[in-house]
Amino acid sequence: VEADSVVALQKLPEAERKLLSAELARTGCQQQFRDAPSDLRATVPQGPAFLVYYAPALVQKAGPRQVQQALSILAEVLAAARKLFPLDDNSFERTACIRIDALKVLTPEEVEDARPWHLRRTSPSDAEAVRGPPTAEAEAVMLEALPNLDIVETMPPRGMVHPCMEIEMPTKSASTDRCLWQGCCEVK
């Protein structure tokens, strides 16, 4: 499955590939930031990092035929998690745990057939994937396919102009606009 996963990762749309690379490179450990990809090192360190429980099981369950779809689902989970836990300079050394127990037991095809799914916050630093639409009182984000966009940078260096908003990113934290640099641009 490892070789199939590498090939599948290379076949993903650029937005998904960059989102996976950026989010999975975050460790929550300042010492390890020095070895992060250059596009992350070019920015002010932000967090929280994500620990996605059962991410390997989701990919293994997919098998070689559906590994690309499993990686796409994982990208959806990470994008939804980033909306629940926005990037923040003060959260650089923190980790949010994202449980995907409900997804790992299904093949990607079964996950698609069982839509809708959402990510629900269960504590200040935890969330879980849940089948169905969120309840009104839950702090939750729907799992949705990422737009298939060509994205130049994974994270904006300070002072860089955001491509879809045509504004300069603030020098503090870009998390307040609840928008992802990776895949945030909506088709207008």
SS in 3 state form for 111-136?
Answer: HHHCCCEEEEEEECCEEEEEECCCCC
Residue 7 CB neighbour total at 10 angstroms: 12
Q: Please state which of the ranges 89-93, 106-110, 120-124 shows the lowest mean pLDDT.
A: 89-93
pTM: 0.72
**DSSP conformational letter for 185:** P
Q: Is the dihedral of CA 4, 9, 11, 12 positive or negative?
A: positive
pLDDT category, 176, cuts 50, 70, 90?
very low
pLDDT category, 144, cuts 50, 70, 90?
confident
Residue 156 has pLDDT above 60, yes or no: no
- ω into residue 37 within 30 of 0, thus cis? no
